[in-house]
Each structure stands twice: as C-alpha cells, then as structure tokens.
Structure 1
C-alpha cells in the first residue's frame, strides 16, 4: 500500500536475515542527522503496558510526497516489532484503499457491522486536518466561482446593453405601435437566456476535455515548489477530476447570474420613450 520500494532514495530495502532494520523518512533523517548504517533507538509499549526499547540500524531513507508523514513514521520488519511487543504473528491494523471517496462512509458502516469488536476508522477520523483542508478548498472554489460569475455578469450586461442601444429605434417603434412593455422585457430576458444556453454547453464541453486530458497526464505544479507541496502532503503532479456532482449547482448559478445581469438592460429598454427613441 505504501509503495516504499519506489520511494527509497538512499540505502536498500530490508535485507533477508538481518534483524532490527529500520526505514526512515528523509525529513526525519535530516532532522536527526541519520544516514544508512546509523543507529536509532525505538521505544514501544508492549502488551503488558511495559515500556520496551530496541536498537535499530537504518537500512534505507525514503521520501514520499507527504513530508509531515515522513517525519513521524518509520518502518521496521513485523517479526522484529512483534518480538519486542511480545506478540507472535499478530497485527493491529489493516488498511483498505477505495477507488471512490464517496464509498467511504458506506464501507465503514459495513465493516463496523461485520467486525463490531474492531475499531473501524475512515481517513476523516484518522486525519481530520486533511478533511478540514478539503472542505476549505471546496469553499475557496465557490469563492472563485463567484468571482468568475461577476466577470460573466459584466460581460452579459455589456453585450445586452449594446444590443439595446443598437436597436433603440426598433424598440421605440414597437412601443409606439402598441407593443406592451412587459413583452419588451420578456424579449430581452429570452435573448439573454438563449445567449447563455448557447455558450454554456460549449464551455462545459471544453472544460471537460481539458480536465480529461489533465486527469490522464497530470497537472505539474512543481513551479509552486516541491517542498511547499510536500509540506501539505501533496505531490507536485495532481490529477484533477470533472466535478459532475457540482454540475447542477454551477448551472443554476450561471442561469441566476444571467437573469440578474439582464435586468439592467431590460429595464433600460422598458423605460425608453417612443418619441426620444425614434429621434436617434
């Protein structure tokens, strides 16, 4: 699960026949000034709640995309650990990796029902700070959407206002011939929605294609700094996904923005006086 063999940057993996070997993260190695061949004393609490210690020799230094995890975790052979803890071939943790994050709560409940004596925790329970970071990122994404919608609103207002100004005489003529002002308002409203509905599918299709490409090849964020990304537990290469679950909400926001944006041009068209409009 950890794929440690792909992350070793110094030394070698556990050697068969050697006892008390330990693999440590690069951040911890730099902090304690350790290299392969150096000694490290690890302290545990055994099954009798007694404190036991063991001297281990560093066989390898690994580096993952999560610097805080590298600093807090070391890896030893299970047999060496169990000998110090007074265990045989027992283990205390089983990790389950899911392909879809939406299935976490459902799988967690099933495991709790099936193994009531065991402690079942999701990644949210184990790392609440990561859950907070994800929620914060989602909140920031909505702020970015609002900023984009403001830019969209100004674009719609500019387009529709120009359309009204270019057709001032025609609108004045329709009002002079007896066309209700409510129909003028509806005309501007429908034109705005048709403009929005024509552009939205093109934008969605383009964004889906771009995200699909980046999801396959990855988005390189190394320009932001490898150390900065690893301090948050992220790789410099990320694979975005198209947010289908938020699609309906975004569409409603777009339609709402288009409606609010067309109010000013529509009101301006409704308030036109036929005499003044025909003189232009």
Structure 2
C-alpha cells in the first residue's frame, strides 16, 4: 500500500519529481565521465610503462629486489614454471637478464644498464624495433647489441662500431666482452636513452656467466583488472620460494603519482556532489514544507509517524532509482562514443607517446564497478538530504500542519 501511494505521490508533481531525478542524473553523469577518463588515462600510462620497461608483474629471486645482484637468479627454463601456462589471464611471459656494466669505446666510458632479452618476444610485446633510428634489429642468435641514441652520442660511436662491456658476473666472475653495435634506439625517457644496452638473452648469459639462468620473468595480463588475481595466484603457488612483484612495487614513483592524481580527481567529484547535494536538499526541503498539510491530514486519519517517514523514504528511493537510470541512460551513449572514438592527444604528450611506439589517444575506462560506486555515492547524497526533512516530519505539529502553517515544528 505504501509503495503504491508513494508511486502516485511522485506523479502528482511531475515537474518536481523530474527536477530532483535530473539533479541526481547530472551528478551521476558528470562523476562517471570524470572517473572514466581519469581511470582510462591511468590505465594507458600503466600499460605503456609496463611494456616500455618493467612489465606488469615480475617473478624474481626472493633476494633480488633488495640486492639487485647477478648472483640472485631464477631458471631460464620456462618448463620450471608450469603454473604460468595454466593461468588464462596471462598474455605474455618474457625472460630477461638485467644488470649493470661499464661501457667503453676509445677513450670514453660510462655506466650502463644491460638488458638481455628474447628479441622476437620483446618486439612482439613492446615494439622495440619501432624505436630503431639506425641499423637493424637483433636476430635471436645475433652476437651484436643495440644502444640508446644518447649513449651512442656520449661514446661517439655509430652503427658498425664496437663497444666493450665490463662488469661483474655470476659468483664474482669477470664479465667482459667486445660487441658490434647493430643499431641505435631512441627512447623519449632520457634516463633510458642515455644508458640502455639491448642484447640477445644468450649473449647476456655468456657475458655474465649465468648459465641457463636469468634475473626475472616478466608477465603481462590481458587486462589490467586481472593483475591482482594473477599476482595472488602466483603468490599462493610460489609462497616464499619466488618473489612476485607487481608494477606498483616495480615503479613506486608512478604508483604514487597516480594515487595523488586520483585523490585530486575524487576530491573534485566530492565538490561536485556537494553542489548537487545542496540543490537536492533545497528541493526535498521545499517538497516537505509544501506537503505539510497533506502530512497533517494523513496523521489525523490514523497513519503513524513511522509509516509517514517510510512513505517519504520510499518516494525518495523511487526518485533515486529514476535518477540513476536517467544518469546511466545519458552516460552510456557518451562513454560508448568515446570508447570507440577516443580523444586524440596533441602537443608534447602526443609526440612522446608516438616516439615510444604507442598511439597518442586518451581512452575511457568502462567498468560496472565505476557505475556501482557512483550510484552508491548518489544514493548516499539523497539519504543525507532526507535526514533533516525526515526529522521535521517526525516532529510535525499536527494542529499547525492542518492549518497549513509553514512554521510547524
């Protein structure tokens, strides 16, 4: 009976009902739009950074994170890690050796980061060959290396010249080798451009005398949402035998930057909610004051105050559902359009992304969790706005209400 009465009450004042629902729909639409673009930009940055260098997840020796030592290694035999083949969410598994060395050519030398990779897998994963500015990409059995352009300029060498790498190998052995420069790579991140040396995995294993071992297995998931699930499965399986590190652990600076930016975005949405909330409160308060005579009649005919309050909350719940449905109906085509036609970035940011081999686009992130979270937030605003009007109805003076007095207390 209360539900039927609440539904009828809504449509006695259609304009007021639609105005209130529209305010909720606007709040939902704007917050969904903001959060979708925000999370979309984070996701593309995380994915690009992962492909560019760290990967989304790495398997490492338990001590490697602290020691970064070439002595703390894992087997390079993928068959030693059968679990990786049983997790359907994993899209890439790449072997890597990462270490440091002193690079020298003629009378110049510099500390460099040596990355031993499977050239074909690495190119499929991150498109390294697209960053070539001179020379040719590496073949899996190649005996040559690729250098960052900045490093080549510092050492004053070009394609076809030779470079000496000198460092410490496995168990204190001397790591030394003379290699031909097969090509030059350009990285927009100067720290990599100025110190990166790419070489085939087998060559890095020879240089550092690691045998059939490596420093890390790099893992990429089909979707960023799956990182937590995959990481947990790996942690549960390997326990303390192998260290599982996600991108936040591997790139703490980027994780912190995203967390701060996300907090700023959410704060702005709270300001939006506050503005919409005040308008909503004014509408509900006006609706309550206008209906005091009606409430007085209902109380006089025997309705208990608790049921009257329930009626108000049911009406508000209908308005809330209507607002959420309207908000979702308006948001869906807009977000759908930007999902299939993402905004193209311009300027320096676009140039940096193109140079990295990635499309300069700003995608939107569409996920039911975002919709549910914003719907809960909008419902909470409405609930807060009902507290004072509900208290006014509970304390309603019957005589004043029946006289139509707007100062009933």
Q: TM exceeds 0.5?
A: yes
Quick one: structure 1 residues 181 and 81, their matched pair in 2 at CA, closer, same or farther if it must change by over 3 Å? closer
Matched, 1:95 2:218: yes
Partner of 1:2: 126
Partner of 1:75: 198
Partner Cα separation in structure 2 for residue 220 and residue 255 of structure 1: 34
What is the TM-score with the length of structure 2 in the denominator? Answer: 0.51
Partner of 1:22: 146
What displacement does 1:198 show?
Answer: 1.0
Quick one: structure 1 residues 219 and 225, their matched pair in 2 at CA, closer, same or farther if it must change by over 3 Å? same
Partner of 2:37: none
Partner of 1:46: 169
| 2:292–2:406 contact (8 Å) kept in structure 1 | no
Partner Cα separation in structure 2 for residue 98 and residue 279 of structure 1: 62
Matched, 1:277 2:400: no
Partner of 1:112: 238
| 1:157–1:262 contact (8 Å) kept in structure 2 | yes
Partner Cα separation in structure 1 for residue 280 and residue 361 of structure 2: 36
Coordinate RMSD, CA, aligned: 4.3
What displacement does 1:242 show?
Answer: 2.8
**Alignment match of 1:202 (pick from 326, 343, 351):** 326
Q: Residues 167-216 of structure 1, C-alpha deviation per residue, up to 9 Å, x if partnerless? A: 45544554566655444433333222211111113323544554444444
Structure 1: gaps (5+ residues): none
Q: Residues 212-263 of structure 1, C-alpha deviation per residue, up to 9 Å, x if partnerless? A: 4444443444468447989xxx975243433434555444333222111122
Structure 2: gaps (5+ residues): 1-124
Aligned length: 271
Structure 1 window deviating more from structure 2 (89-98 vs 253-262): it is 89-98
**Alignment match of 2:388 (pick from 261, 264, 270):** 264
What displacement does 1:154 show?
Answer: 1.8
Partner of 2:315: 191
| 1:45–1:85 contact (8 Å) kept in structure 2 | yes
Quick one: structure 1 residues 165 and 225, their matched pair in 2 at CA, closer, same or farther if it must change by over 3 Å? farther
Structure 1 window deviating more from structure 2 (89-98 vs 175-184): it is 175-184
Quick one: structure 1 residues 55 and 208, their matched pair in 2 at CA, closer, same or farther if it must change by over 3 Å? same
Structure 1 window deviating more from structure 2 (192-201 vs 142-151): it is 142-151
| 1:220–1:237 contact (8 Å) kept in structure 2 | yes
Name the structure, 1 or 2, with higher relative contact order (CA <8 Å, separation 6+). Answer: 2
| 2:163–2:180 contact (8 Å) kept in structure 1 | yes
**Alignment match of 1:164 (pick from 288, 307, 310):** 288
Partner of 1:85: 208
Partner Cα separation in structure 2 for residue 98 and residue 104 of structure 1: 8
Partner of 2:181: 57
